[in-house]
Structure 1
Amino acid sequence: MFLKDVWQVAAFAKEVGREILPRTLAGEAVILYRTSAGAPVVMLDACPHRFLPLSMGKLSGDVVQCGYHGLCFDHRGDCVKIPGQDRIPSTAKVTVFPVVERYGFIWVWLGDATKADESKVPDFHWMTNPEWAVSEGYHHIDAHYQLINDNLLDLSHETFVHPHTIGNHAVAESPLTVSEGEGTVIAHRDILNCEPPPFYVQAAGFSTRIDRWHTTIFTPPGFLVIKNGSVPAGMPKEEARAKGIARERRVLNLITPETETSSHYFWGIARGYDIENVGLTDYIRSEVARTFDEDKLVLEAQQRKLGDHKITHFPITLRADAGAVRGRRLIESMLRGVSATAAE
């Protein structure tokens, strides 16, 4: 079961053009395309006549033509042509979902269209803010989306999964504090007087001991903003900022469920320093992709081992799981609300 009455990322905006793009989002098979005026469309991938996927058809002008019997549907989902007959049944419609283009993404509302409020699109302004340089990417992960949430709410795994990029022993040994906001879970860790991991040497320019921090802000179903940064060990953050030697980033994670065992993982690394350095932007993209490749291996192995077991079937809970546990509880509470509403 997935949350549907929420905005979720369907694609990077640059992915969607004048060709049909099929994608499965939270269990719904859809197609994405742009009209000739450039407006994005997200439509159910099924012709209502004989249920051939519309992705097997073609985009002709501003209509999608089914590849089976040629029925044509406009951007509102209305059938506008049926070869061989003039009368168009009132039931000849395809569901079209509310959509917003913002922050370099196409956002879709897969639930009750009357509840779709554009002001509720999660804030990822860093992706398009000229004061930040962004390295972005995408991973398809064969794992339930909540396993990815768990991964990002407990960054102690950096020590063991990412020792060649962002991790070292100090991460797992540093205490975690967890709090909750309005519809959010916040997990914070200070990592003080530690050796800079390899990524921090190359991407941030540190060669001596540093103070690190990361604050993960989780909003269901799969949005996690990690505010991370580093300064020379012992130096107050404000002093380092004033001197221009603080190295602060936003790790932007946007996870959309695909199926019960697979997910779309859109990500961006926004940095507030040396923003004109294209070589650094490319380096960060490459190293972060390598880091997330390591996560992908772990997450997919987890999913294979879980098999048909529920993703809550974990016999041991550790202190470091506090953020992940609260994140799951928040999602469970929202899903219970959906079930209660459906039962009324």
Structure 2
Amino acid sequence: MTTVAPKNFWYVAAFAEDIGRALVARTILNQALVMFRTEEGSVAILEDRCPHRAVPLSLGRLIGDDIRCNYHGMQIRADGSCSRIPCQDLIPEKARARTYPVVERHKLIWVWMGNSDLADPATVPDFHWFDDPAWTTCHGYHHVNANYQLLNDNLLDLSHESYVHEDTIGNDAVAEAPVTSKVVDGKVYVSREIVNCEPPPFYVKTTGFTTNINRWHTTIFQPPSFNVIENGSYPHHASRSEALERRILNMITPETDTSSHYFWGVARAFLHDDAALTSYIREKIYHTFDQDKVLLEAQQRNLGKETNAPFPVALRTDVGPIQARKLVKQILDREQSEAA
């Protein structure tokens, strides 16, 4: 059995800057979509399927705010209705493409894949760091051929930093540090306090700390696939009030049962005007997530399509991922029960 993702949630479809006056094709939850920005600036998301002969609309072209199918010229408006059929005046009632609710917020384009009557913009996850002047951010995207829950597992057990990312953000102290995990108000909190450790290369470069540091990271998981990592560090001999803090923003959108769109950002609350530092962070985080991608895709290949129970041997550090999977399963069971 494959792992199905919940539908009645807002998912990131794209960074806002990437959607303009061009057709963008993207698959989300096994559904082919096409996106574009209208002449007035709003974003439209439709099923990427012409109602005439099922050719992808993304192969067509924009005529004003209509998509003209490149097969037989049928034109579909941003609201999914048909505006023109070249060979006839009568437009059949079924000549319509499905549309999806869209919200543009925090420099992200959010799409609702489930029951549109439940699409409340107030429930869009909070990623205010992208447009909060108190934080300086950089961002990026990875396509990962792995189920979205494997990415959640990875972010909820950061002990892998010691081995996968030893050239950037990890060292032995991460895996050896004690871990706490709890569920509060439908979210999972997994925390590590790492005391008096050598700063990894990324920390030396971004903070300037060269002596031993205290560092912490708390992964906050919000179902079904959002992870915010609160991270900070300060010299071991100093106080926590002197810490330099970051937020690692992880927005995972299931593409298929075995592939994911991984949108990410890094926000920092220090050295806001240092453009070179921003570029360095973006470059090194790309490299770090490239390393994750290699392992996650290899893990998926070994699992095949069975991603529901990847913990034949559970360790103490698996508590957070297991709690997160339980929350997702409860949501899936509820959706399936309501559908029945």
TM range (shorter): over 0.9
State the Cα deviation string for residues 56-101 of structure 1 (Å, max 9, x = none): 1111111011111111111110011111111111111111101011
The one of 236, 239, 242 aligned to 2:239:
236
- Counterpart of 2:74 (choices 55, 71, 75) is 71
Give the letter aligned to residue 222 of structure 1.
S
SS of the aligned residue for 1:18 comes to: coil
Partner of 1:95: 98
Residue number in structure 1 paired with 2:56: 53
Please tell me whether the aligned partners of residues 106 and 127 of structure 2 are also in contact (alpha carbons under 8 angstroms).
yes
Counterpart residue number, 2:282: 285
Correspondence for 2:179 = 176
Deviations 1:84-140 (A, max 9, x none): 111111111111101011111100001111111111000000011122111111111
Q: For 1:215-234, list aligned pairs within 5 A.
A: 215-234=218-237
* 1: CA distance, partners of 2:137 / 2:305: 38
Q: CA deviation at 1:311?
A: 3.7
State the secondary structure of the residue aligned to 2:305.
coil
Moved over 6 A (4+): none
Shift of residue 235, structure 1, vs aligned partner = 3.0
Partners in 1 of 2:141 and 2:283 — Cα distance? 12
Q: Does 1:333 align with 2:330?
A: yes
User: Number of matched residues?
Assistant: 337
Q: Specify which of 286, 303, 308 is matched with residue 306 of structure 1.
A: 303
Q: TM-score, normalised by structure 1?
A: 0.96
Give RMSD over aligned pairs.
Answer: 0.9
SS in 1 for 2:54: coil
* Partner of residue 267 from structure 2, selected from 259, 267, 270: 270
Structure 1 residues 61-210: aligned runs within 5 Å: 61-210=64-213
**Alignment partners' CA distance in 2, 1:102 and 1:31:** 19
Residue 263 of structure 2 aligns to a residue whose secondary structure is strand
Counterparts of 1:123 and 1:5, CA distance in 2: 17
| Partner secondary structure for residue 104 of structure 2 | strand
User: What is the correspondence of 1:21-32 to structure 2 with a 5 Å cutoff?
Assistant: 21-32=24-35
Aligned equivalents of 1:194, 1:313: Cα separation in 2: 31
Find the residue that maps to 1:214 and give its secondary structure. Answer: strand
- Tell me, in whole angstroms, the C-alpha distance in 2 between the residues paired with 1:112 and 1:133: 36
Residue 320 of structure 1: aligned partner: 317
Q: Distance in 2 between matches of 1:132 and 1:260?
A: 34
Structure 2: how far apart are the matches of 1:164 and 1:302? Answer: 21
Give distance in 2, aligned partners of 1:5 and 1:236.
44
Q: Is the 8 A contact 2:258 2:305 kept in 1?
A: no
Aligned equivalent of 1:17 = 20
Q: Whole-Å Cα distance in 1 between the matches of residues 272 and 84 of structure 2?
A: 51
Contact 2:57-2:68 at 8 Å conserved across structures? yes
Q: What displacement does 1:291 show? A: 0.5
Q: Which digits, 9 at most, give the CA deviation of each residue in 1:244-276, with x for residues without a partner? A: xx2100000000000111100000000000010
In the aligned structure 2, how far is the partner of 1:189 from the partner of 1:234? 19
Instruction: Report how far residue 309 of structure 1 moved.
Output: 2.6
Q: What is the Cα deviation at residue 175 of structure 1?
A: 0.7
Unaligned 5+ runs, structure 1: 241-245
Aligned to 1:243: none
Query: What's the secondary structure of 2:182's corresponding residue?
Result: strand
- CA shift for structure 1 position 230: 0.3
Residue 317 of structure 2 is aligned to residue 342 of structure 1 = no
| 1:247 has 2:244 as partner | yes
Distance 1:151 1:290 in 2: 16
How far has the Cα of 1:234 moved from its partner?
A: 4.5
